[in-house]
Amino acid sequence: MKRLVIYSTAIAMMIAWILVGFSQEHSPTDPRSQTEPTASTQSPSSTNEQLDTPEVPCLTPTEGTKAWGIPQFFWRNKHEFRVRFLDGEQVCQERVKQAIKAWSDAANIKFIYVTDGDSDIRISFKGKGHWSKVGTTARSVPRDRQTMNIQLTPQHPQNEFDRVARHEFGHALGLMHEHQHPHGQIQWNKPVVYAAYAQAPNFWDKQTVDEQVFATYEGPFTGTAPDPHSIMMYPIVRGWTTNGLTVGWNRELSDLDKQFIKQKYP
């Protein structure tokens, strides 16, 4: 099994085309509109999501409940996070704030919004795709540079911001991608998945698919059993596995997401 390489950033590549072909079964639940094989909560035309590029593995260990992450990526003894918007219209900023309340409601986490000075999480809406630095790796980013990108506009509804912002803030808090869980054992139909990602708008080669979709993490981790309902899970379209497994477009924190994040930020 190919080993997952850890990078400092979790990036996603657009795959809105998936929603076009499977909109009846999966259309309304895509978790990030350009950050992973998205899971959306609306029509195909408004669900442009992406997959994490070879920059960061989003996984979580199995030690209690669901969700997982690399131990050193979680913020220790920290509960208040200073969040700064580097740009973006007020309506977009407010929708992000509304979306990420799901995390602060689930654990001892408080987001403090600042307009200058020190900050832990810096968001831009101008870059390409949806991505975020994972947990404490954000500390290595210059203070005037973004640590997260959310490619959404005022034309996107709240539920689109819910799926995207919640997923990216999961990364910012230290969580990894669920489909790359060390204990996931997903039975991929690789030829079909390779062919799907090779198409527009991704144009991924096999190596990129191997690293971003098939690879599982091998190393110390903390987390729970694999959770297909996790906000950190990529959608899995019918035909992408050999055993019939499918995953819809998750946009809410699952019960296990909430249990795990509460353990990490009690």
**153 within some domain:** yes
What mean pLDDT is predicted for residues 248-266? 93
pLDDT at 240: 95
Residue 133 gets the label, from left (phi > 0), alpha (psi -120 to 50) or beta, of beta
| H helical segments located in 143-247 | 158-172, 190-198, 206-209
Question: Domains in the chain: how many in total?
Answer: 1
pLDDT confidence of 60, banded at 50, 70, 90?
very low
pLDDT at 227: 86
Any idea what the CATH number is for the domain that residue 50 is in? 3.40.390.10
Instruction: Tell me which of 7 and 33 has the higher pLDDT.
Output: 7
pLDDT confidence of 179, banded at 50, 70, 90?
confident
**233 within some domain:** yes
pLDDT at 224: 59
Per-residue pLDDT for 197 more than 70?
yes
Closest CA to 83 of 57, 115, 42, 127: 115
pLDDT at 10: 45
Beta bridge partners of 188: 241
**129 within some domain:** yes
Per-residue pLDDT for 68 more than 60?
no
The answer to which of 26-40, 206-220, 243-257 has the lowest mean pLDDT is 26-40
What mean pLDDT is predicted for residues 122-139? 93
What mean pLDDT is predicted for residues 193-203? 88
pLDDT confidence of 26, banded at 50, 70, 90?
very low
**156 within some domain:** yes
* Structural tokens at position 228: 């297909």
The answer to which of 24-33, 113-122, 257-266 has the lowest mean pLDDT is 24-33
**1 within some domain:** no
Per-residue pLDDT for 117 more than 80?
yes
* Structural tokens at position 23: 């909109």
Residue 188's domain comprises 9-264
Per-residue pLDDT for 129 more than 70?
yes
Q: What percent of the chain has pLDDT over 90?
A: 55
pLDDT confidence of 52, banded at 50, 70, 90?
very low
pLDDT confidence of 223, banded at 50, 70, 90?
low
Helix (H) or strand (E) holding 11: strand 9-11
Averaged confidence pLDDT in the chain: 76
**228 within some domain:** yes
pLDDT confidence of 196, banded at 50, 70, 90?
very high
DSSP state letter for 59: B
* Structural tokens at position 140: 């290595």
**2 within some domain:** no
What mean pLDDT is predicted for residues 218-222? 61
Instruction: Tell me which of 2 and 188 has the higher pLDDT.
Output: 188
**CA 213/CA 209 separation, integer angstroms:** 5
pLDDT at 9: 46
* Structural tokens at position 144: 């005037």
The answer to which of 62-71, 82-91, 148-157, 238-247 has the lowest mean pLDDT is 62-71
**3 within some domain:** no
